[in-house]
Chains A and B, each alone.
Chain A
């Protein structure tokens, strides 16, 4: 008798600890101060962005440097839905998700004609086009942007503390949903197909994998979720402008930094990378430019010393996995 198993004692323990952490984090509004809550909310939103970029670049091989297009689209979509179309903030979120998917589909058709470095540059150009276009929309403040009116913010909850708590839970919820969805996708048949495409397109094609459709699905799903994260980012900030919404630095450079130092192509990598990024930011941010130099130095050292990222270093040859993805066939003796 043989069975296929994917979990290991370590991964089962990790899942239990993770569940406890999620419960603890869900209770944060009751034990954390306002500043800590905001910081944690930001951590979860960056974790979501990093996990999504990792899926795109680390698994589907779509190295985009223009995901800020969808962060900004989500933010602006959220402001438009609440301010111009009169939707409540909670009703606006699913609209933003759908908007991200609908807009990203024709974008994908266009940029999938490009490969490698040209694809990367193409995504950046698309993000710039989005930024310049939204700067033309006078109803949303044009180039100088606009703030979310307090009447709309109050629809979320009456008191300031409750509002912050709701925004925080939304951020936590989207992070759990994104990490969970990516994990389940990678465990599915499509997940293995995705890895196969990244390794060798020719062989994957001849095994019956529809490359274009697989990449298209991943791109559109990632864009929709990135838009949703963008809406939550600007719900937390309460103010949007084209430069902040479509910032390549904030929504792509930092995100790539997180994924690369954590370990690209692993589920654990973005989580570890996010923790390292925020640890560096919270301790060094006062140093101004020196902080960015330190970030760059850390990235260079890790790329030289541990090209598979910090998780690659921990994982080593033994193939440790906190998120059980590998299949293991168990014999009777195992």
Chain B
């Protein structure tokens, strides 16, 4: 039985600039893996490489045993990989509800539909006809997460969902996380807030300047090891 996601020797580049060097990472079905690291360490590049927004060697990323590293983003998404992108990237001319509906446009079967989502984030139902970008930052983040969930993914990747939000809002969003992954969903969470990342995940990997500097069980890694992996001192 292959792992859900297997990354081996991933070198990702933007033109001449290489952002990731030989990254290895595996994610088993049903677990939550946190990816931490300083700004510019390559976290977002890693997310974009998995989701096909950056295309690499086919064998560098395997999903359910299939080589997907060279597929286009829409082909990767069709296999059940959803990304909540950094900065949310909502569709500003669509309403809250239309943003959610478009997440479901591939028609993958699964537990998530508008009703379930509105139960998870009731505020979105109240504001369903409002243009998505007229919401507060936290509510927009809920739309971005909801939009990804509507595609009924098997692997959900969340890139810095707490960026620019007030601590109380961040707590609210993270409180919804168990209800999301409880469905047997596998998740990768990219986080700057290390304590938050460790508390929601079962395993953690730390990136530093494009390389994996630490990887282990979230309960086992010490603060000291993380500081070293984070800052490279």
A residues contacting B by CB (< 8 A) are 2, 189, 192-193, 195-196, 198-200, 202-211, 265, 319, 326-329
Known: A192-B101, A211-B74. Is A205-B53 also a contact (CB below 8 A)?
yes
Chain B nearest CB from A154 CB (Å) reads 50
* B93 engages A193 (CB within 8 Å): no
User: Which residues of chain B have C-beta atoms less than 8 A from A319's C-beta?
Assistant: 129
* A192 engages B93 (CB within 8 Å): no
User: Which residues of chain A have C-beta atoms less than 8 A from B114's C-beta?
Assistant: 329
User: Which residues of chain A have C-beta atoms less than 8 A from B103's C-beta?
Assistant: 207
Chain A nearest CB from B42 CB (Å) reads 18
Pick the contact of B94: A196, A208, A328, A329 (CB < 8 A): A196
Q: Which residue on chain A has the smallest CB distance to residue B130?
A: A319
* A206 engages B85 (CB within 8 Å): yes
- Residue B141, interface by CB 8 Å: no
CA distance A317 to B90 in the complex (A): 20
- Residue B225, interface by CB 8 Å: no
* B97 engages A206 (CB within 8 Å): no
Pick the contact of B78: A208, A211, A326, A327 (CB < 8 A): A208
Interface core residue of A206, A265, A329 (most chain B CB under 10 Å)? A206
CA distance A328 to B74 in the complex (A): 28
Chain B nearest CB from A159 CB (Å) reads 50
* B97 engages A329 (CB within 8 Å): yes
* A206 engages B51 (CB within 8 Å): yes
Chain B contact residues: helix, strand, loop or mixed: mixed
User: Which residues of chain A have C-beta atoms less than 8 A from B52's C-beta?
Assistant: 205-206
Pick the contact of B93: A195, A206, A210 (CB < 8 A): A195
- Residue B92, interface by CB 8 Å: yes
Q: Which residue on chain A has the smallest CB distance to residue B144?
A: A203
Known: A196-B102, A208-B106, A329-B97. Is A202-B77 also a contact (CB below 8 A)?
no
CA distance A207 to B152 in the complex (A): 11
CA distance A329 to B114 in the complex (A): 10
User: Which residues of chain A have C-beta atoms less than 8 A from B93's C-beta?
Assistant: 195, 198-199, 265
Interface core residue of B73, B82, B94, B129 (most chain A CB under 10 Å)? B73
User: Which residues of chain A have C-beta atoms less than 8 A from B98's C-beta?
Assistant: 192, 195, 326-327
* B89 engages A208 (CB within 8 Å): no
* A208 engages B151 (CB within 8 Å): yes
Q: Which residue on chain A has the smallest CB distance to residue B133?
A: A199
User: Which residues of chain A have C-beta atoms less than 8 A from B105's C-beta?
Assistant: 189, 192-193, 207-209
Known: A192-B102, A327-B101. Is A208-B91 also a contact (CB below 8 A)?
no
Q: Mark B67-107, 1 if CB is under 8 A from A, else 0.
A: 00000111001100011010001111111011001110110
Interface core residue of A200, A205, A211, A326 (most chain B CB under 10 Å)? A205
- Residue B203, interface by CB 8 Å: no
CA distance A202 to B77 in the complex (A): 12
Could you give 14 example pairs across A and B, Cβ below 8 Å?
A2-B115, A195-B93, A199-B90, A199-B94, A200-B89, A200-B92, A203-B90, A204-B102, A205-B73, A205-B77, A207-B151, A208-B74, A208-B105, A210-B74
* B72 engages A207 (CB within 8 Å): no
| Given A200-B89, A208-B78, 14 further pairs, Cβ under 8 A | A192-B102, A199-B91, A199-B92, A202-B53, A202-B85, A203-B85, A205-B77, A206-B51, A207-B102, A207-B105, A207-B151, A208-B77, A208-B105, A329-B97
Chain B nearest CB from A226 CB (Å) reads 24
Chain A nearest CB from B45 CB (Å) reads 14
Pick the contact of A195: B51, B78, B91 (CB < 8 A): B91
CA distance A189 to B97 in the complex (A): 13
- Residue B62, interface by CB 8 Å: no
Known: A329-B97, A329-B128. Is A206-B102 also a contact (CB below 8 A)?
no
Q: Which residue on chain A has the smallest CB distance to residue B97?
A: A327
Chain A nearest CB from B5 CB (Å) reads 16
User: Which residues of chain A have C-beta atoms less than 8 A from B91's C-beta?
Assistant: 195-196, 199-200, 203-204
User: Which residues of chain A have C-beta atoms less than 8 A from B90's C-beta?
Assistant: 199-200, 203
User: Which residues of chain B have C-beta atoms less than 8 A from A195's C-beta?
Assistant: 91, 93-94, 98
Interface core residue of A196, A199, A208 (most chain B CB under 10 Å)? A208
Q: Mark B21-41, 1 if CB is under 8 A from A, else 0.
A: 000000000000000000000
Q: Which residue on chain A has the smallest CB distance to residue B148?
A: A207
- Residue B147, interface by CB 8 Å: yes
* A202 engages B74 (CB within 8 Å): no
Chain A nearest CB from B162 CB (Å) reads 19
Chain B nearest CB from A1 CB (Å) reads 11
* A326 engages B85 (CB within 8 Å): no
CA distance A200 to B132 in the complex (A): 13
Chain B nearest CB from A6 CB (Å) reads 11
Pick the contact of B102: A2, A193, A198, A328 (CB < 8 A): A193
User: Which residues of chain B have C-beta atoms less than 8 A from A196's C-beta?
Assistant: 91, 94, 102
User: Which residues of chain B have C-beta atoms less than 8 A from A206's C-beta?
Assistant: 51-53, 73, 77, 82-83, 85
* A209 engages B95 (CB within 8 Å): no
CA distance A195 to B101 in the complex (A): 12
* B72 engages A210 (CB within 8 Å): yes
User: Which residues of chain B have C-beta atoms less than 8 A from A189's C-beta?
Assistant: 105
